[in-house]
Amino acid sequence: MRISVMQQLKVDLSERSYDILIGAGLLDEPGSAAAEIFAGRSILLIADTNTAPLYLERARTAINKAGAARCESFVFPAGEENKNFATLEELLRHAASLELDRKSCFVALGGGVCGDMTGFAASCYMRGVDFVQIPTSLLAMVDSSVGGKTGIDLPEGKNLVGAFWQPQLVIIDPTLLKTLPARELRCGLAEVAKYAVIMDSELFDILDEYAERLLALDLELYEEIVARCCQLKADVVAQDEREGGIRAILNYGHTFGHALEIVTDFTLNHGEAVAVGMNMAGTLAVDMGVFNKKDLLRQIQLLNDLELPQTFFGAQTEDVFKAMFKDKKQSGGKLVLILPEKLGKVRIERNADEKMVRQAIGSCL
């Protein structure tokens, strides 16, 4: 694989286009693209209680060096349970109390929760301000920081309130992964494996070969892998920004996975649930005769090598099945499932037989 110093990718969305910068050291030296955005502006840097002690001051220094007029901050308690209206209100009121105007820019410095909430706050503060993503988790680097899905949770479900609001720039410094807990790293690797199965068989082979190096946090390898996943996501988002069609393939393993998260009361984290969900989707595809057993075994082997679970004991098939209908991605009471046809290719399936779906769930519980 080619090892480079810095990669610059583009999410091509006409007037909403933006760059993704990927490179070691970008947190401290984000370069001229960042300076163009930050120079002369009031910045609100948003982090949680995990990322703030690690990175907030370094990010503030870089933003000030890039020529910001001022750099304020907002820190909220870490955890999905805080991605809610109460934190959003606090954030927005903090921005208002600082008299930040509509030319100010919000910066998300954190994982998926921070990015989703910052983006949503940016979408509605003063009817919309600019924002920049600086993801600190692998999951946020390869998935949630790119594509403009923003939002908060309701007690009734995850991400039920939100907006499509694209960032102006995504700055990814893979060295930030050094402080990511191992379980969270594996959670991000589930999303990486997802890209491989849905659209990149060559990436699948690379993951297969280098699983050990990934678990050992080979940062040069991560730079390449993160760039490759961002490119795949950028291509999909450029074709279908608002998930009217092909963007749904990014939900591979997620309909089963979200249901498992709910049923297990989040004992499984997102990536673990997605990994089990990929196994359920792959099993269903084999049962339906659209995916071959050999490829399913390769998927199982890869997820094993990445130390991700394939099964979860203790949940009931019927509970998981019912919870799948609560996913906001389902339409008109019908299941929409992403099923593999071969490694690197999936289909959107709207007519899966419910008995077979239950069987596939049961085989992984």
Our finding on whether 176 is near ligand GLY (CB under 6 A) is no
Our finding on whether 94 is near ligand GLY (CB under 6 A) is no
How many CB atoms are located within 10 Å of the residue 348 CB? 13
Spatial separation of the C-alpha atoms in residues 200 and 49, rounded to whole Å: 36
Check if 254 is active-site: yes
Check if 72 is active-site: no
Measured from the CB atom, the residue of 30 and 340 that comes closer to ligand GLY is 340
How many CB atoms are located within 10 Å of the residue 163 CB? 14
Cβ contacts of 115 within 8 Å, gap of 6 or more: 108, 133, 135, 140, 144, 145, 150
Measured from the CB atom, the residue of 63 and 335 that comes closer to ligand GLY is 335
Check if 94 is active-site: no
Please name which of 145, 89, 81 lies closest in space to residue 119, comparing C-alpha atoms: 145
Check if 293 is active-site: no
Query: Among residues 58, 65, 247, 329, which is the contact residue for ligand GLY, using CB under 6 A?
Result: 247
Our finding on whether 211 is near ligand GLY (CB under 6 A) is no
Q: Which of 247, 298, 342, 358 is catalytic?
A: 247
Check if 241 is active-site: no
Check if 81 is active-site: no
Q: Which of 41, 60, 149, 158 is catalytic?
A: 149
Segment 124-143, which members bind ligand GLY (CB under 6 A)?
143
Check if 243 is active-site: yes
Please name which of 105, 44, 102 lies closest in space to residue 76, comparing C-alpha atoms: 44
Please name which of 188, 364, 185 lies closest in space to residue 276, comparing C-alpha atoms: 364
Handedness of CA 42, 48, 51, 52 (dihedral sign): positive
Our finding on whether 250 is near ligand GLY (CB under 6 A) is yes
Q: x/- site string to ligand GLY, residues 140 to 169, per CB under 6 A?
A: ---x---x-x--------------------
User: Residue 191 CB, nearest distance to ligand GLY (Å)?
Assistant: 8
Measured from the CB atom, the residue of 103 and 242 that comes closer to ligand GLY is 242
Q: Regarding beta strands 345-349 and 337-342, do their DSSP bridges make them parallel or antiparallel, or are they unpaired?
A: antiparallel
Our finding on whether 119 is near ligand GLY (CB under 6 A) is no
User: Residue 147 CB, nearest distance to ligand GLY (Å)?
Assistant: 4
DSSP 334: B
What is the maximal distance between C-alpha atoms in the chain?
A: 61
Q: Which of 258, 261, 272, 279 is catalytic?
A: 258
Residue whose Cβ sits closest to ligand GLY = 250
Our finding on whether 228 is near ligand GLY (CB under 6 A) is no
Q: Which of 72, 80, 90, 243 is catalytic?
A: 243
Spatial separation of the C-alpha atoms in residues 109 and 55, rounded to whole Å: 8
CA distances from 83 to 78, 90, 117 (A): 9, 11, 6
Check if 65 is active-site: no
User: Residue 294 CB, nearest distance to ligand GLY (Å)?
Assistant: 28
Spatial separation of the C-alpha atoms in residues 335 and 346, rounded to whole Å: 16
Check if 149 is active-site: yes
Our finding on whether 270 is near ligand GLY (CB under 6 A) is no
In this structure, are residues 12 and 234 in contact, taking their beta carbons and an 8 Å threshold? yes
DSSP 26: T
Q: Which of 184, 191, 223, 224 is catalytic?
A: 191
User: Residue 148 CB, nearest distance to ligand GLY (Å)?
Assistant: 8
Token pair belonging to 198: 């849905």
Please give the positions annotated as active site: 127, 149, 191, 233, 243, 247, 251, 254, 258, 270
Q: Which residues bind ligand GLY (CB under 6 A)?
A: 143, 147, 149, 247, 250
